[in-house]
């Protein structure tokens, strides 16, 4: 079974061409908007997976946004076919997430294997309305 090593939300990321190491620029846990509904600036979701015990069967990773009240919105799906490597980086660029309300939103990472989905991580994304004093 693939294991999630890390998952992070950031404003930008840089992947070194020589070493394949990743630098995360301005990690994100909240956003402030003038009013609702709002469109957030583009962000990145970055993750690293351990495939050592993944076997040879493909698996699917889903990234979802769950607002404080409402149904999950699928932001991205990626099917991964293990290639014999131990590690797999998976990055999604998320241009302009739409939010309709203030509060704790969650980016969830789920793994589908043999027909069953299982959540591997929940990343909070707090959205606040800027109240001018």
CATH number at residue 84: 2.60.40.3880
Domain housing 101: 3-129
Q: Are the C-beta atoms of 14 and 25 separated by less than 8 Å?
A: yes
Max avg pLDDT among 17-21, 52-56, 129-133: 17-21
- At 1 the pLDDT is 85
pLDDT in tens, 27-46: 999 999 999 999 999 999 99
Output the pTM of the full model.
Answer: 0.89
Residue 46, CA distances (Å) to 16, 28, 65, 81 in order: 15, 12, 15, 18
- At 133 the pLDDT is 55
Strand 98-99 to strand 3-15: parallel, antiparallel, or no bridges (unpaired)?
A: unpaired
How far is 107 from 126, CA to CA, in rounded Å? Answer: 11
Q: How many domains does the chain have?
A: 1
pLDDT above 90: percentage of residues in the chain? 81
pLDDT in tens, 54-83: 888 889 999 999 999 989 999 999 999 888
Average pLDDT for residues 43-56, to the nearest whole number?
92
- At 113 the pLDDT is 77
Residue 116 has pLDDT above 90, yes or no: no
Residue 96 has pLDDT above 80, yes or no: yes
Q: In the 8-state DSSP scheme, what is residue 40?
A: P
pLDDT above 70: percentage of residues in the chain? 99
Strand 103-113 to strand 116-129: parallel, antiparallel, or no bridges (unpaired)?
A: antiparallel
Strand 43-50's sheet: what is its strand order? 22-27, 3-15, 43-50, 87-94
């Amino acid at each position: 079974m693939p294991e999630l090593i890390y998952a992070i939300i950031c404003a930008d990321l840089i992947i070194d061409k020589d070493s394949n190491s990743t630098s995360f620029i301005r990690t994100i846990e909240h956003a402030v908007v003038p009013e609702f509904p709002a469109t957030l600036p583009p962000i990145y979701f970055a993750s690293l997976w351990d495939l050592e015990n993944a076997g040879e069967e493909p698996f699917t990773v889903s990234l979802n946004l769950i607002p404080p009240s409402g149904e999950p919105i699928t932001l991205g799906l990626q099917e991964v076919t293990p290639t014999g490597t131990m590690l797999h980086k998976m990055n999604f660029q998320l241009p302009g997430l739409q939010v309709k309300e203030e509060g704790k939103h969650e980016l969830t990472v789920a793994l589908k294997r043999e027909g069953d989905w299982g959540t591997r991580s929940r990343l909070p994304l707090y959205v606040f309305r800027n109240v001018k004093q």
